[in-house]
A = this chain, B = another copy of it.
């Protein structure tokens, strides 16, 4: 079933980079500086929880296309207000925190995994982050993608079909010749519905220490890998 795959579309937040550690660290620095008495990790969790709902409003047509940075900023503003700290976290802090999603640490094995996969496949980033965000993120995290593909190019967000089909179209292949690699069941579900092949890559720490990451046993996919090395080996790389 995976013999026809020519392009690997690799998810980014959680799959290639450790957003939880990166965002928790930056939130923690801002909170310490502003003497905000909130748990940075729990705040990062709450911020990320608003990620899918904010994009769903774009996909459902409730609102016009908006960049992920704008959605992140709206969620951040609302959360700060809800926690009663809107007055102490200023404009510069907020800009910094939204920009923190542009500079996140790679998982220790991501670079090697991408390098192995690139021997056999064309390997592109496919993320709901904006194009510029992803270029900066890949560069600073040292992720050697063959190309960057962003939901911005489709003007719709995963799990809508647009980003998956745009990837196939831009790479000039059929949808079933694209394999999505992701650590999230919702992303694999969207890819499969669009006709792509799907590989689950388990990232147990993806949601931090307090929440359970998605697990292979709960995921429908063509290939479920428990580690980066397992994925590369099973894809013949």
Interface residues of A, Cβ cutoff 8 Å to B: 118, 122, 124, 130-136, 138-139, 144, 146-148, 152-153, 170-173
Per a CB cutoff under 8 Å, which of B130, B148, B171 touches A172? B130
What's the Cα separation between A198 and B124 when bound, in Å?
29
Chain B residues in 8 Å Cβ range of A134: 147
Q: Could you say how many copies of this chain the assembly holds?
A: 2
Main secondary structure of the interface of A (DSSP, over half): helix
- The residue of chain B having its C-beta at the shortest distance from the C-beta of A67 within the complex is B172
Tell me which of A147, A148, A171 has the highest count of chain B C-beta atoms within 10 A of its own C-beta. Answer: A147
B147 and A131 contacting across the interface, CB-CB below 8 Å: yes
Closest 5 CB pairs of A and B: A132-B172, A131-B170, A147-B148, A135-B147, A132-B171
20 A–B contacts from the bound complex (CB under 8 Å): A118-B139, A122-B139, A124-B135, A130-B172, A131-B147, A131-B170, A131-B171, A132-B170, A132-B171, A132-B172, A132-B173, A133-B172, A135-B146, A135-B147, A135-B171, A144-B144, A147-B147, A148-B148, A152-B170, A153-B153
Separation in Å of the A48 CB from the closest CB of chain B? 22
Separation in Å of the A34 CB from the closest CB of chain B? 27
